[in-house]
Amino acid sequence: MRRGAHARAWPGGPYGPERAHTADMTQITDCILVFFIALAVTFVLTPPVVRFAIRRGIVDKPGARRVNVRVVARFGGPAMYFGFVAAALFAWSRVDGMLWILLGASIIVLTGVIDDIKSLSAGVKLVGQIGAAALMFFTGTRLELITNPAGGYFFLPTWFSFCVTVIWIVGITNTLNLIDGLDGLAAGITCIASLTFLLVSVQKGQTESALLAALMAGVTSGFLRWNFYPAKTFMGDSGALFLGFMVSVIALKGAFKSTTVLSFIVPVLALGVPIFDTSFAIVRRVKAGQPVMSAPDKGHLHHRLLAAGWRHRDAVILMYIITLALSVAALLLIRAWWLALYLVAGIVALTGLLVILGKIKPSKGGRNA
């Protein structure tokens, strides 16, 4: 049996105090190590990747559909990917199917890199995303069953399981891409969601999803040093698609393995901002008679906040707070009271770490002055 399979629950969860025990310290130690490996590698590699992007002209220039007021590199995806690979190698033996997850992430990042350089059509990008999602399904990362309220389980037909799995992965992959409109927005939302998944996974003894969540929290934390307002670099499609793909996989490895309807609440609410924003965007485009996969517009929530007079940094922080509030609400709904407190404390500690790294400080620039 894999290490962590007998991990105990932390206090204050849906499993009640009678089942509350101390979490496996080996599991917690591994998560901490994975977090800091991912953070350090991403933090160190981002500046040289930015310099490479600028030399190659892989940049975002100010324009009608842009909110940046200066030329900024848009090639953060490879830096985050290498941070992911470094931490994944450490966790390799502890996560079943890590090779396939790495391969799926590679397909997504490669698709995004080509798009960042040459601008692929929406259809071509969709093919790459479906390919990566199908790979996850056929290698065991899938939604297979749900709890029968009368007892037992409903096992999903293979074809239905395939459709749900692919739609989930492709959908979340694109929601993170669409929300990536302000400095640090997608990375921060992913970081908060990953910390939420991490706490729930550790409580449930789900070692694999806990390690993957810690890994992505580290990757996004290291990248936020360079991506928070005013950004030194944007993540580009390679980064946004990568983040969306990974959080969707973490949910399938963790929350969706719990099979209960309540367990679905955590990932849906933790990713509530991008999910709801994308849903509204689809409705808006359908009502306007526009293709759903049409070019980006300025009707997203973050654009509306800017149009309403919010400053760039304040709009991002507001959406962080909304994401944190939704994540806390999800934990409270599953009666994980202590986890809600741990999440808030973790966010405060992470903010302190970013301050120490010298990122969050008054300055000018970014996508919008």
Position 308 in a domain: yes
Position 362 in a domain: no
pLDDT at residue 77 greater than cutoff 50: yes
Q: What is the mean pLDDT of residues 14-40?
A: 71
Question: Number of structural domains, the chain?
Answer: 1
Rg (alpha carbons) of the chain, rounded to whole number: 20
First vs last C-alpha separation in the chain: 54
Position 10 in a domain: no
Position 367 in a domain: no
With contact defined as beta carbons under 8 Å apart, do 57 and 74 qualify? Answer: no
CB burial class (10 A; 0-12, 13-18, 19+) of residue 98? middle
Picking from 174-178, 263-267, 308-312, 337-341, which range would have the lowest pLDDT averaged per residue?
263-267
Position 236 in a domain: yes
What is the predicted pLDDT for the residue at 110?
97
Position 207 in a domain: yes
Tokens of 72: 């900024």
- Domain range holding 227? 17-356
Residue 66 pLDDT grade (very low, low, confident, very high; cuts 50, 70, 90):
low
Residue 211 pLDDT grade (very low, low, confident, very high; cuts 50, 70, 90):
very high
Position 28 in a domain: yes
Position 82 in a domain: yes
Rounded Cα gap, residues 6 and 330, in angstroms: 25
What is the predicted pLDDT for the residue at 297?
65
